[in-house]
Amino acid sequence: MEYYFKNKHVLITGGLGFLGSTLAQQLVGAGAIVTVIDNLDPLYGGNLFNVKEIDKRIRIVIDDIRNTEVMTALVANADIIFHLAAQVSYIDSINIPFDDLDLNARTTLHILECCRKLNPQARVIFSSSRMIYGKVEGSIVTENSPTNP
């Protein structure tokens, strides 16, 4: 891992949440130049405390990924993009469907379009959740487990 990420410009959306901050710590350790963006919405766990050990070694952008001007600039300068920011509550997706669509689909499309137009060599890693597997038919879930969302 260390060799691949050394001196690579890495952008992490949702970078102050549990997964994003843990990833940021590992990438800093591997020599990456890390930028995280997070809106610090209290419902989704983003917290500056999560990166306090590396906060001087990363760039922290407090903003919403729906801010296309900010995201365009960040994506244009990234070698690798870990897209972790999302609205993950299925209850919220029912109650605020247009916000859910905007945050989860439009922002992802904007990132991909920025890559296509401005930074086609960038690598985008999109994460999902175990919810794609639905009800689990056993005690262990692997990438080869059947899906039943």
pLDDT higher than 90, residue 141: no
Tens digits of residue pLDDT in 69-127:
999 999 999 999 999 998 888 898 899 999 999 999 999 999 999 999 999 999 999 98
Mind listing the pLDDT tens digit for each residue in 26-70?
999 999 999 999 999 887 889 999 999 999 999 999 999 999 999
Above 90 in pLDDT, residue 6?
Answer: yes
Rounded (10°) angle between helices 107-118 and 68-76: 40
* pTM of the shown model: 0.88
Q: How many C-beta atoms surround the C-beta of residue 65 within 10 A? A: 23
148 pLDDT band, cuts 50/70/90, is confident
CB 63 within 8 A of CB 91: no
